[in-house]
Structure 1
Amino acid sequence: MDKLRKHIEEIITVSDEEFAHIKTFFTLKRVKKHQYLIQEGDQANFEYLIMSGIFRMFYLDSEGKEHIVQFAGENWWMADYQAYFNEKKADLYITCMEDAEVLCMTLQGREKLSADLHKMEHFFRVKLTKGYVAQQRRIISLLAGNPQQRYEEFGKLYPHLMQKIPKKYIAEYLGVSRETLSRLYSANK
């Protein structure tokens, strides 16, 4: 739980008593490689804070093709937010890419914690805003950037992920073929 406190205190300061209260809203879950946190049709009961490991969020189109929405590593928050906040069934899948640990929080827990400690409401707002900005940047990159630009941006933003994620998934995330990714990789050596 020291990692959780450090993560929170990047944005707000909490006392020992406040942190003792905060941690009661989280449940630790160990996740094995290839295990799903959520699948399409599941009830999206949790938001996850990644403590270790890497996750891939994707959706499947009507032909069964996987489209990667997001990768998440340590200290990233992840959920099918549309389903989580609207208390609906998930449209997305979240799968573990290496053995990992996550902290799980329910929406009811999040709301109660925010009401109990308004500084946590601020913390969650800052985290959601940063996530929203990152998603907008990704959409603009997909709409306006060429494959070379998308590859370079991914490498600059997430160098630690570039080394850990199989190239087939990076290619999928960037919207390019595996062959194109190989050419981009060779051109950037």
Structure 2
Amino acid sequence: MHDTLRQHIEKILPLSDEEFAFVYSHFTLKRFKKHQFLIQEGEEVKYAFFVISGLLKLVHTEEHTGKQHIVSFAMEDWWESDFYAFYTQTKATLSLECLEDTEVFCVSADDYKKLLDGLQKMERFFLEKANFGFLAAQRRILSLLTSNAKERYEQLIQQYPTLTQRVPKSLLATYLGVSRETLSRLYT
């Protein structure tokens, strides 16, 4: 398992064995079952998660209507959390749920700070990950603002081809902001 984390980090920067041992000491391995929550709205967000295996969905639920908005999916080699709540140490406004049995490495806010303070390379690593996350979020917002349903679906297939085989159509429809019926027409 620890090789997965090391390979992920070393896609951005090399680490000596001693540096990786320091990094690894700040993570905890956790396993979750399908439908289990890693984060629930209104609760404290203790961790940011690196997905080793499995699939997660990050969701915001409207308080008055109960309508769900899927913010993102996270699969192997991705990071996920309610990052606003994690960084500001406020209550979650998003829920993170397993769509499959999932294994993650968790880093607490305190351990995250210790990593940044203790190894400057990790500042660069997390900055790169944050930048790529920001770019993906910006691309998603622009897609929602400027693309029709068919274009958004095609973009999703192009960017994440395996996601459509792992996620039920009803959840893909919610993520794309279309009805299940509209997605079924696009799917054929």
Shift of 1:125: 0.3
- Counterpart in the other structure of 2:99: 97
Q: Partners in 2 of 1:37 and 1:74 — Cα distance?
A: 16
Shift of 1:114: 1.1
- With structure 1 as the length reference, what TM-score do the two structures score? 0.97
- With structure 2 as the length reference, what TM-score do the two structures score? 0.98
**Uncovered stretches (5+) of structure 1, i.e. residues with no partner:** none
1:1-189 matches, within 5 Å, as 1-61=2-62, 62-186=64-188
Shift of 1:107: 1.4
Q: Percent identity?
A: 49
Q: Partners in 2 of 1:65 and 1:136 — Cα distance?
A: 23
Shift of 1:103: 0.6
Shift of 1:82: 0.9
Shift of 1:28: 0.4
Shift of 1:160: 1.2
Q: Which amino acid aligns with 2:13?
A: I
Q: Can you list the C-alpha shifts for 1:83-120, whole angstroms capped at 9, x where unaligned?
A: 01100000100000000100110111111111111011
Q: Which amino acid aligns with 1:91?
A: T
* Structure 1 ranges of 4+ moved more than 6 A: none
CA RMSD of aligned residues (A): 0.6
**Uncovered stretches (5+) of structure 2, i.e. residues with no partner:** none
